[in-house]
A and B are shown apart, each in its own frame.
Chain A
Amino acid sequence: MDIELVKFMFILTVMSLYLNFAITLYGVVAKVNLVKKLIALTILQDTVNVFTVLIGYRLWRPGLILQPPALTDMNPTPEIIKDFVERSVDPLPQAFVLTAIVIGLAVTLFLTTIVLHVNYHFKTVNVDEIGGMKRRYIHEEAV
């Protein structure tokens, strides 16, 4: 394997995640259908989560043996631990992602319920129509 190729693929992954992020951000803000907004938001959450996992990635470099890093020694010396840490991915971002996924589940559940209630009350999930109704309501309240 070539180090240049690995670096190129790494940059490509990061860039495609940024692109995904931008598209979903546009989707959440600009789409008028609440269900489409919700879908865009879940994709945005997943993009951020994948990006977080990517943060823990150690860039491959020539001379690094490609095998799953595992501590086989029951009483490791500091050198073995150092060598292990050099090769293994960072576990902390994965812990972040687990937490963020659970939180994302709660948020998504809440948003789904709210969309259901919105549909029940307004008979539509189009935010432009709801906004028009709201303007009339505010106008009536103020006059």
Chain B
Amino acid sequence: MNDLSVGLTTVLPTVVAFLLPLLTLRFKSRALYASITTATTLAVWLLTLVNFMKVFKGEVLTYAFGGWPPPLGIVYVVDMLNGVLGFLAATLFLLASVYTFWYFGRIESGHEWLSTLTLVLLSGVLGCLYTGDLFNFFVMLEVLSISSYALVAFFRRRKWAIEASMAYSFIGALATMLFFFGVIFIYASFGTVNMADLITKAHAIPELGSNPLERWSGTCPGSWCYGNVFISSALAIAFMLWALNFEAGIFPNNYWMPSAYAESPTPASALFAGIVDKVGTYGVLRLFITVFTAYGSTLMFSVGGFPFRDFVLIVLSTLGLVTGYLGALLMFPQRNVKRLLTYSTISHIGIIFTAFSAFLSHVSPEASAEALAGVMLHMVTHAFGEFLLFVGLGTLSVVVGSTNLARMSGLRGRYPLLIASIILGFLSLLGVIPLAGFFSKYVIFTALINAGLPVHGISIVLISGISALGYFKVIYTLMVSEGSGVTPRETRLYIPTGITVLLAALLIILGVLLTQSSFINPLMEHSRELMSVNGLLKYVDAVNNLSTLLGGA
């Protein structure tokens, strides 16, 4: 019921993050900061593992901060969707903090600030993922954004890092402010910001006919609430989606990503590509799958005989298609490896958004559930693959002293394991058969074909084909090209090699597991439940039970 393992995940890293700078008064040791970060992320990883085990068994976990019965206070709710992503986030943060043991030896100063900002980012990411409250989502989005701006500007003596942070932070601050504006619209018309409460209210409009969800915390009598709930839901969605698309990097809002990811320190850019851009994607999923569903929510009002929610989803998936093609096409000409990897990230986020077209109201629930399973799988496989590549190629760029791809040739004899796992990562992102990346793309592809959207389905194959050019360019440089005459500074890379080999092994193991029906069937079962009315009822019931437990109405 009131699961402490949910509540502690965001509190623990924040407390440690605020205590860390105080330690600089006494201790200067780099290993100390890396150890503290690793210990904290390990604790958080264990907590998220516990949460993941519980949600995998079918539970919905809740935690009410301060003991206020929901919908009064802030409540965290973990179901399968955010349970998986929370565990993924903690895993990547754990690997990134282990990586800092090696990376701290390669930067001159600011170790304590890199540790602090990483922990604050962890808190922001997990807060955004776990929260069941829209206003708290805004607060956590700001925590995430501010720590990201600061991480991008980490090398403050490099002018392009400052420029990248400036481009990100000005429009980022605007986007999060607009998210807040959207939340205000929701509060004004529904009288609540609690997601479970919002689900019941957004589905209990008499004009839309009977539905299985009941009102929970009452209605707005007379003069208490303003205006038209349909228009305000649409406005709120418009404002909130812009902020979420900005964080995810969908087409018109992706201009900041290449510079920001290329200029930030390697562990931070690996985390950005791995999990931070997934937070925006998760927000969109949560809004359209849990809050404003196709089961007669307030967003289903018709505009010219066409449901408004479907219109928004069509726009989103079209933007996803544009983003996918754009990222894949712009990847090939890049010579800076980190910039190339960022375009790869952009194209994969585009693929995930393309799959949102399967959530249209006229698509069969079976195909929608399959698409959701595909989206969740692709988030995991893309996060592992992209994290591996950023760590691997980021390490090589530190070793040769440049992010230029041409200078990384001829290293295959020196770091065979590292190069081999980087190539496995590229093949997984491309979607080569035994690796996990193939199966996630395949599930999305079949779901889109089953949903009767062949253009979107075939586009995923085409986007993969175009991005193959960029991927093989890097593979060719690493494997075939002769050496550029650069003598690497180091001979042993135990920690980075260990991380990349571990992730490559994970990609292979996941790929093998995904061929087993005993592994894929429970996943499909979970996503079917998430897409169904039963899943919504389970989400609301979990919060309602917590409310009764704490003595609420």
Contacts and interface: CB of A to CB of B under 8 A. Distances in A.
Interface of A: 21, 25, 28-29, 34, 37-38, 41, 44-45, 48, 51-52, 55, 58-59, 61, 92-93, 96, 99-100, 103-104, 106-107, 110-111, 114-115, 117-118, 121-122, 130, 134, 137, 141-142
Contacts of B223: 58-59, 61
Given A118-B162, A121-B162, A137-B160, A107 B184 contact: no
Contacts of B180: 48, 52, 96, 100
A48 B334 contact: no
A118 B162 CA distance: 6
B166 A114 contact: yes
Given A55-B188, A114-B153, A28 B174 contact: yes
A114 B174 contact: no
Interface in B265-281: none
Given A41-B173, A58-B223, A103-B139, A96 B184 contact: yes
A110 B335 contact: no
B429 to A, nearest CB: 22
B333 A142 contact: yes
Shortest 10 CB-CB contacts between residues of A and residues of B: A121-B159, A55-B188, A117-B162, A103-B142, A107-B173, A59-B223, A114-B166, A52-B184, A48-B181, A28-B174
Given A41-B170, A41-B174, A93-B184, A142 B334 contact: yes
23 contacts: A28-B170, A28-B174, A29-B174, A34-B166, A34-B170, A38-B170, A44-B174, A48-B180, A52-B180, A55-B187, A58-B223, A61-B223, A93-B187, A107-B176, A111-B173, A114-B153, A114-B165, A117-B156, A118-B162, A121-B159, A130-B163, A134-B259, A142-B335
Contacts of A45: 177
Interface in B246-286: 259
Q: Which of A25, A34, A38, A114 has the most CB of B within 10 A?
A: A114
B135 A114 contact: no
Given A52-B184, A114-B162, A118-B163, 20 more contacts: A28-B170, A38-B170, A41-B177, A44-B174, A44-B177, A51-B181, A55-B187, A55-B226, A59-B223, A92-B187, A96-B180, A96-B183, A96-B184, A100-B180, A107-B142, A121-B163, A122-B163, A130-B166, A141-B336, A142-B333
Contacts of A38: 170
Contacts of B420: none
A130 B188 CA distance: 41
Given A55-B188, A142-B334, A114 B159 contact: no
A117 B224 CA distance: 47
A106 B146 contact: yes
Contacts of A118: 162-163, 166
B150 interface: yes
Contact of B146 (A51, A96, A110, A122): A110
Contacts of A59: 223
A71 B373 CA distance: 53
B139 A99 contact: yes
B149 A37 contact: no
Contact of A111 (B169, B187, B336): B169
A38 B173 CA distance: 10
A82 to B, nearest CB: 10
Contacts of A51: 181, 184
A81 to B, nearest CB: 14
Contacts of A37: 170
A113 to B, nearest CB: 8
A34 B171 CA distance: 12
Nearest to A95: B135
A117 to B, nearest CB: 5
B184 A55 contact: yes
Interface in B229-261: 259
A61 B153 CA distance: 53
A107 B160 contact: no
A42 to B, nearest CB: 10
A1 to B, nearest CB: 16
Given A48-B184, A55-B184, A96 B169 contact: no
Contacts of B224: 58
Contacts of A29: 174
Interface string B343-383: 00000000000000000000000000000000000000000
A111 B162 contact: no
Contacts of B170: 28, 34, 37-38, 41, 111
B289 to A, nearest CB: 26
Contacts of B149: 110, 114
A118 B158 CA distance: 10
Interface string B80-106: 000000000000000000000000000
Contacts of B135: 96, 99
B74 to A, nearest CB: 11
A114 B336 contact: no
A111 B168 CA distance: 10
A39 B156 CA distance: 23
A10 to B, nearest CB: 10
Contacts of A137: 160
Of the candidates B149, B174, B404, the one having the most CB atoms from chain A within 10 angstroms of its own CB is B174
A55 B166 CA distance: 33
A11 to B, nearest CB: 11
A103 B223 CA distance: 31
A115 B156 CA distance: 12
Interface in B185-235: 187-188, 223-224, 226
A115 B170 CA distance: 10
A92 B183 CA distance: 13
Nearest to B189: A55
A81 B156 CA distance: 56
Nearest to A111: B169
A103 B176 CA distance: 10
B25 to A, nearest CB: 22
